[in-house]
């Protein structure tokens, strides 16, 4: 790993910034990447982590339930989006900075980018290391996973901010009839393995 970055993290060798619609499988895919690489090599960063923590604290809510995938989070989602947007307007890198604190692994996987400002923050801090990955699934598949259209959420920037204007480095199709995830993830895993081995060489 390279030398400390000065804001509580070490400089990463590779930053994979994931985005995708609700229930496209961002958590599923990023968890699989971490399992393949191991948690010593790969750290998962959730931009929504510090957002939920702060929101729960200010509103006297149950953080564990906001972090879970049940109906509690959905009850507060629209208001959390609005609350987070107010914070981002004042400081677009606010949640990115908090999410990167204390991350020590050489490969970072950001599981939930939603806005151009999220991508811009990582690209500007780590221009050589950042790669953007889109996870996509059909609406039919997302519905089978429990998604249904919610006005104020699915038509808001939180879900649509990266629908256009982004050149993704990788697109993963997370569907039953697509090539297997392992096959699609292979080049990304290879890149991550190369990055982490160069970090262990630079450490030794």
Ligand X SMILES: C[C@@](O)(CCOP(=O)(O)OP(=O)(O)O)CC(=O)O
Q: Which residues are annotated as a binding site?
A: 21-27, 145, 174, 184
The listed partner (ligand X, ligand ADP, none) that binds 25, CB under 5 to 8 Å by sort, is: ligand ADP
Residue 141 CB, shortest distance to ligand ADP, in Å, is 8
Which of ligand X, ligand ADP, none has residue 169 at its interface (CB below 5 to 8 Å by kind)? none
State the DSSP string of the chain: ---B-SSSSBPPSEEEEEEE-TTSSHHHHHHHHHHHH-TTTEEEE-THHHHHHHHHHHHT--HHHHHSSSHHHHHHHHHHHHHHHHHHHH-TTHHHHHHHTT--SSEEEE----SHHHHHHHHHH-TTTEEEEEEE--HHHHHHTT----TTTTTSHHHHTTSSS---SEEEE-STTSSPHHHHHHHHHHHHHHHHHHHHHHH-
Nearer to ligand X, 67 or 103 (CB): 67
Interacting span for ligand ADP (CB under 6 A) from 26-34, 79-87, 159-167, 188-196: 26-34
Asked if 20 interacts with ligand ADP (CB under 6 A), we say yes
Residues 80-109 that bind ligand ADP (CB under 6 A): none
Residue 142 found at the interface with ligand X (CB under 6 A): no
Pick from 1, 34, 63, 77: which binds ligand X (CB under 6 A)? 77
Residues of this chain that bind ligand X (CB under 6 A): 22, 26-27, 48, 51, 73, 77, 80-81, 84, 112, 114, 158
């Amino acid at each position: 790993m390279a030398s400390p970055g000065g804001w509580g993290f070490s400089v990463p060798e590779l930053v994979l910034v994931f985005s995708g619609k609700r229930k496209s499988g961002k958590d599923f895919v990023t968890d699989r990447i971490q399992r393949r690489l191991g948690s010593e090599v790969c750290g998962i960063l959730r931009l929504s982590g510090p957002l939920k923590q702060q929101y729960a604290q200010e509103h006297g809510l149950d953080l564990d339930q906001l972090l879970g995938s049940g109906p509690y989070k959905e009850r507060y989602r629209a208001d959390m989006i609005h609350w987070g947007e107010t914070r981002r307007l004042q400081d677009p890198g606010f949640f990115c900075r908090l999410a990167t604190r204390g991350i020590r692994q050489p490969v970072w996987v950001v599981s939930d980018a939603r806005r151009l400002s999220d991508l811009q923050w990582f690209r500007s801090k780590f221009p050589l290391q950042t790669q953007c990955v889109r996870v996509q699934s059909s609406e039919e598949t997302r519905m089978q996973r429990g998604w249904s259209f919610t006005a104020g959420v699915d038509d808001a920037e939180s879900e649509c901010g990266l629908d256009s204007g982004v050149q993704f480095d990788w697109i993963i199709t997370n569907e039953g009839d697509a090539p297997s995830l392992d096959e699609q993830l292979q080049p990304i895993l290879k890149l991550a393995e190369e990055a982490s081995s160069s970090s262990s060489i630079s450490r030794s």
